[in-house]
Amino acid sequence: MKEAGSRGDRGDRGLSLKQGPAAGLRALRRSLVLSGLSVAESLAGLLFGLAVSALGTGLGPALLPGAARNVRRLAGRQRDLARQWSGVDVPEPYEPAAAPAAASAADRGRALLKDARTWREWRWATVDPVVGGALAFAPIALVLSGLWGVFLGFEGGRLAHEWGGVWFGFLPVDGPVTAAIAGVLGVCELGLALWVAPRTVRAHARWTRRILAPGEAERMARMTDRIEHLSTTRSHVADARMAEIRRIERDLHDGAQARLVAMGMTLDAAEHLLEKNPEAVRGLLAEARKSSAAALEELRDLVRGIHPPVLADRGLPDAVRALAMVSPLTTEVAFEVPGRPEPPVESALYFAVSEALTNAAKHSGAGRAWIDARYEDAAGTLRLTVTDDGHGGADVTRGTGLRGIERRLATFDGVLVVSSPVGGPTIVTMEVPCALSSPRTTSC
């Protein structure tokens, strides 16, 4: 926290307060923007409070995620403005742990309320319209008051006669002299507004940092959650590896090994019959050749199941196209990924797509599928979507396929989101944070 504050202070000192009407007018415009945001924050905070108070009903869980997103969006906007306008860096807190994809709306609402970032931003949305709004509106109030004083400088005497007296702040305007004083004070207030505006904008940025930056306790709690998450995913990876090793051992024992043993026995029989019955030897050799071909095919299938050669040689786009070609569904593939992720990420996404296509073909009654991949440079995230036109109803909690995909992606901090209303379509979205390590060599 201290380190974040020192960075913000250096940013404060790095931006000098430029004097002059132009800087003051620019700051006044920024004050108007901040005042408008304060109004939006108050409405967003009110909606969030209503959603929290209605959690016991069906309305609360439906409103809470949207209300939290609105508050978070406004908080992000204030962080950006503080950095752009005042050089004040407001540290972005860690993302909260995502609720499981199959969680109910109530569970997602409870997960949001357990996150310290949610409560801190709601507190900000409740308090900032008062404190931050007052800072932002102060120069605007000076401008309005100054304009009223200038107006009274010209029309104050007439209005005092018609209305029986008017006031400029604490100054009663009852004649030409007091009207002139009000006009002079109004001009002074306009000048004061131009001087104050840049300083209130900077004060607003510092206030934003003070209330939105995460505290040391929160960062430590988040680190603890991160360690627990890594421990869980590491355990899942170890279990998956052991299951994969057992599968490979079983496939070798029951498949290729058995065929090779049978082929050895056939060749041994052919050796004993070589001089006595050459015709029988010819049949045994043909049988051995078929067994060797079958064993070789099973070994190739086993290798493809471990790490497909097309994935290693051509990358994820061509490997996914190969899956689409052998899928019973009519599948369209679109890739906009300007490079290759690391091999473990490629492998995880490949088998995730394979599982999603298999599920769609077996359980959804679909006839068509669409695979779309995009890389978001700003977030450093690879997003891959598998859509089918089946009858829907897919649920992560009711099968091991989607849950296996979720665990596989969690190893790389990836997430799985499944949208599958009854009647379809089913949209399986996978997001994995990754860097692209090498240029793409295939066309997409």
Q: Nearest Cα to 124, choosing from 61, 48, 32? A: 48
**Helix, strand, coil fractions of the chain, as percent rounded to 5:** 70, 10, 20
* Rounded distance between C-alpha atoms, residue 438 and residue 319, angstroms: 16
Cα 36 from Cα 18, distance rounded (Å)? 24
* pLDDT at 11 exceeding the cut of 80: no
- Length of the chain equals 444
Alpha helix segments (H runs only) across 213-277: 216-251, 257-273
Rounded Cα distance between 107 and 127, Å, is 28
Alpha-carbon span 128 to 185, nearest angstrom: 31
Structure tokens at 222: 């988040």
User: Could you report the per-residue pLDDT of 176-203, keeping only the tens digit for each?
Assistant: 888 889 889 989 999 999 999 999 999 9
Neighbours of 378 (CB within 10 A): 5
Tokens of 23: 């800087």
Calpha distance 36→39 (Å, rounded): 5
| Measured distance CA(127)–CA(131) in Å, rounded | 6
Model pLDDT for residues 395-414, shown as the tens digit of each residue: 776 666 777 787 778 777 78
Token output for 155? 């029309």
Percent of the chain with pLDDT over 70: 75
Task: Report the pLDDT averaged over residues 414-419.
Answer: 83
**Strands 330-336 and 368-376, how do they pair?**
parallel
The span from the CA of 320 to the CA of 323, in Å, is 5
Average pLDDT on 56-77 reads: 82
Q: Is the pTM of this model over 0.85?
A: no
Top-ranked range on mean pLDDT: pick from 304-313, 405-414, 435-444: 405-414
Eight-class DSSP state of 338:
S
Question: In a 3-state reduction of DSSP, which class is residue 428?
Answer: strand
Q: pLDDT of 350-388, one tens digit each?
A: 888 888 888 888 888 888 899 998 888 767 888 899 999
Per cent of the chain over pLDDT 90 is 16
**pLDDT value, residue 14:** 37
Give residues with Cβ within 8 angstroms of 50, minimum separation 6: 63, 67
Starting at the edge strand that comes first in sequence, how are the strands of the sheet with 368-376 ordered? 330-336, 368-376, 381-388, 426-433, 415-419
Tokens of 79: 């962080």
